[in-house]
């Protein structure tokens, strides 16, 4: 760890500790004794199956992926459940999944960020009646031209309205940890400031492993251990990083140590320089701080791209980028994680990555890629020797 990273880590730890009055840090020991096998359920995210419209076929495909549940999209078409008709369509969806031996514990709602928005209470109430406990919706964004803390105080009032609905219906709102300076929750401590006044039974983080990888191998773990009881669900996703050189004759992007093997192969064919581990080795857990597209062009460790080209952080298949699955398992065990999880495969995969209702490649390729991700997560958990499995 260099001096800059040590300083950054120390400041964040002190700040988080003050926000939570030491409560969550005390509940998240760095190490724990080995535990017996504990099975978690990985859901298929129905956004990647929008090209399937029949509920029975969704269930059959989920079983083919070796997932144990489904997270349906409660959104306008091509979502699988229309918000205006949630009282009829969500029960039908849940009943069909259960018929096939699958569970539905969480849903992806729309982009609402206020409990008073249309259809929000109908979605939450229907979920509660069906025993579907967790949901995530929209993400609040900062106005970076204004002070941050007053904006968080305003968000706390919005969270309070959601919590009241959740107390009524036995549900939990999940805030997705998106990337980007303007995204509320991207640095975790900001929403911890908000959530600390509420029970994690009713509000918590929907932890995105891909986005959180951009904090670096040391920082994501510190943040997750600090968040502890408020990590109520997880979204498995992987990202690499690459430098976008703007120098004349540079020959394309320069791939950093977190780049996927697939990206290396493509770059090598184009003549791009590459660095990092040899082909066949994942750079899981690499110390990277690379933003994704549209974010600040700052590379690993805060370095700027040569020639002002900046950095990008493409989505990649599980196990080929920055996410250290085995290390995640250790932290999950230590904080006692037992929430829902789903696979989010946002790398190019025939349009399924964007929730399209039609594929541009054969079905077998899409399903094969998704199943490979599931098997990679399963193997990473087993490699951790924590006893966690899916």
Same domain, 126 and 187: yes
Q: At 345, which CATH number?
A: 3.20.20.150
Amino acid 246: pLDDT: 57
Separation of alpha carbons 286 and 122, rounded Å: 43
In a domain, 10, yes or no: no
Cα angle: 73, vertex 182, 166; to 5 degrees: 45
Residue from 324, 289, 231, 212 nearest 8 by CA? 289
Domain boundary among 317, 343, 366: 317
In a domain, 20, yes or no: no
Amino acid 383: pLDDT: 96
Same domain, 169 and 113: yes
Same domain, 212 and 261: no
In a domain, 26, yes or no: no
Same domain, 99 and 163: yes
Domain boundary among 301, 317, 333: 317
For helices 86-99 and 120-130, give the axis angle rounded to 10 degrees.
30
Mapping DSSP to helix (H, G, I), strand (E, B) and coil, where does residue 178 land? coil
Separation of alpha carbons 374 and 390, rounded Å: 9
**What is the model's pTM?**
0.80
Same domain, 213 and 356: yes
Amino acid 244: pLDDT: 79
Is-contact 44 19, C-beta < 8 A?
A: no
If you search the block for the tokens 């076929």, which residue do you land on? 57
Same domain, 97 and 196: yes
Residues shown for the chain = 390
What range does the domain containing 225 cover? 39-46+57-237+323-389
Domain count, the chain: 2
In a domain, 24, yes or no: no
Separation of alpha carbons 209 and 226, rounded Å: 15
Domain boundary among 292, 317, 342: 317
Amino acid 11: pLDDT: 37
Same domain, 379 and 260: no
Regions of the chain with pLDDT less than 70: 1-35, 245-309
Q: How many CB atoms lie within 10 A of CB 167?
A: 13
Same domain, 277 and 360: no
In a domain, 129, yes or no: yes
- State the DSSP H helix or E strand holding residue 260, giving kind and residue range, or none if neither: none
Amino acid 267: pLDDT: 38
Query: 54: which DSSP letter?
Result: -
Mean residue pLDDT of the chain comes to 83
In a domain, 23, yes or no: no
In a domain, 32, yes or no: no
Same domain, 186 and 71: yes
Same domain, 189 and 83: yes
Same domain, 250 and 307: yes
Same domain, 194 and 270: no
In a domain, 184, yes or no: yes
Separation of alpha carbons 109 and 76, rounded Å: 10
Question: Residue 78: is the preceding peptide bond cis (ω within 30°)?
Answer: yes
Amino acid 243: pLDDT: 84
Amino acid 304: pLDDT: 41
């Amino acid at each position: 760890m260099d001096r800059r990273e040590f300083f950054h880590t120390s400041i964040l730890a002190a700040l988080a500790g003050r926000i939570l009055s030491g409560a969550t840090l005390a509940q998240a020991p760095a190490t724990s004794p080995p535990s017996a096998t504990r099975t978690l359920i990985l859901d298929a995210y129905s956004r990647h199956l929008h090209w399937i419209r029949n509920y029975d076929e969704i269930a059959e495909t989920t079983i083919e992926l070796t997932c144990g549940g489904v997270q349906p999209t409660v959104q306008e078409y091509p979502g699988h459940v229309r918000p205006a008709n949630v009282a009829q369509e969500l029960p039908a969806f849940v009943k069909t999944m259960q018929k096939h031996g699958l569970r539905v514990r969480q849903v992806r709602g729309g982009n609402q960020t206020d409990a008073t928005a249309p259809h929000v209470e109908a979605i939450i109430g229907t979920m509660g009646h069906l025993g579907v406990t967790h949901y995530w919706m929209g993400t609040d964004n900062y106005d970076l031209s204004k002070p941050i803390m007053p904006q968080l105080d305003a968000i706390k009032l919005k969270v309070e309205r959601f919590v009241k609905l959740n107390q009524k219906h036995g549900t939990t709102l999940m805030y997705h940890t998106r990337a980007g300076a303007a995204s509320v929750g991207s640095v975790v401590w900001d929403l911890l400031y908000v959530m600390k006044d509420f029970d994690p039974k009713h509000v918590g983080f929907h932890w995105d492993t891909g986005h959180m990888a951009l904090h670096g191998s040391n920082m994501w773990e510190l943040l997750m251990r600090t968040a502890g009881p408020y990590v109520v669900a997880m979204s498995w996703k992987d990202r690499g990083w690459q430098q976008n050189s703007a120098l004349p004759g540079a020959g394309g992007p320069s791939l950093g140590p977190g780049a996927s093997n697939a990206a290396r192969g493509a770059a090598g064919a184009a003549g791009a320089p590459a660095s990092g581990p040899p082909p066949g080795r994942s750079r899981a857990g690499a110390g990277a701080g690379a933003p994704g597209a549209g974010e600040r062009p700052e590379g690993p460790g805060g370095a700027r791209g040569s020639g002002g080209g900046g950095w990008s952080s493409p989505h990649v298949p599980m196990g080929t980028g920055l996410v250290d699955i085995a290390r995640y398992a250790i932290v999950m065990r230590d904080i006692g994680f037992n929430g829902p999880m789903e696979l989010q495969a946002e790398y190019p995969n025939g349009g399924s990555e964007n929730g399209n209702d039609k594929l541009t490649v054969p079905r077998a390729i899409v399903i094969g890629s998704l199943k490979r991700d599931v098997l990679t997560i399963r193997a990473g958990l087993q490699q951790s020797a924590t006893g966690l499995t899916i």
